[in-house]
Amino acid sequence: GESVGLHLPTLSVQEGDNSIINCAYSNSASDYFIWYKQESGKGPQFIIDIRSNMDKRQGQRVTVLLNKTVKHLSLQIAATQPGDSAVYFCAENEGQAGTALIFGKGTTLSVSS
Amino acid sequence: ETGVTQSPTHLIKTRGQQVTLRCSSQSGHNTVSWYQQALGQGPQFIFQYYREEENGRGNFPPRFSGLQFPNYSSELNVNALELDDSALYLCASSLDAGGINQPQHFGDGTRLSIL
């Protein structure tokens, strides 16, 4: 389950700021993690993934950090834009490769200009 | 590259009825997973299909069933609909790469309302 104090259901930032969204995962055996962005009326959109043999991975304006010791995942968004406003979910792969994704509680990111 | 498409986009049913939802996987993908997303919650795994067989199932009753076809498209069937079945049903496709995790890509879902 979620670790109290790590997960914020909402995050409000100003355009141009950097955003950090946190997630605690539940299963120490999970070996694959994904961040999704979900806009209103849409399905989750893949942002970035990371495997358990890594602790950091960078994409375009996004960075994912994985701390297996405390079972914590974070998504950093650089120079946040109004178009980044959405609900963000972390998901862990539990069990054999390619089966169920277990989703965390979402964080609603609001970006004001 | 064609993404995941789902039909219909919206559906209204009454308790006790049956429903079939459809999903076309992204081109090049051979695995389809179905999720239920209640309002304000994260998606919950229903089941996954690979090579036309169920390849994992979440905590959903047997009245939730599925199919996968040779072209990798899939159906989700729900019998004896209950009010709590009202939700967004999401389909995700991925490529099974011999035990190496690959990202699941989602469609925009079917919004099912039970009256």
pLDDT bucket at A98, cuts 50 / 70 / 90: low
For the segment A56-60, the average pLDDT, to the nearest whole number, is 97
What's the rounded Cα separation, in Å, for the pair B76 and A29? 29
Chain B hits for A98, CB-CB cut-off 8 Å, are: 31, 48, 50, 55, 94, 96-97, 99, 101-102
Q: Which residues on A lie below 8 Å from B102 (Cβ)?
A: 98
Q: Print burial letters for A79-109: b (CB count within 10 Å at least 16), e (below 16).
A: ebeeebbbbbbbbbbbeeebbbbbbbbbbbb
Helix (H) or strand (E) holding B8: none
Q: Which residues contact B12 (CB under 8 A, 6 or more apart)?
A: B112, B113, B114, B115
Give residue A101's pLDDT: 92
CA A54 to mean position of chain CA atoms: 15
Contact status of B107 with chain A (Cβ, < 8 Å):
yes
Question: Which DSSP letter does residue A30 get?
Answer: -
Query: Within chain B, which residues score under 70 in pLDDT?
Result: 1, 97-99
Task: List the single residue in A with minimal CA-CA distance to B41.
Answer: A105
pLDDT digits (tens, 9 = 90+) for A8-38: 899 999 999 999 999 999 888 888 999 999 9
Which of A53, A99, A108 is the mutation pick for testing B, counting most B CBs within 10 A?
A99
Categorize the per-residue pLDDT at A6 as very low, low, confident or very high, splitting at 50, 70 and 90. low
**Strand, helix or coil for residue A96:** coil
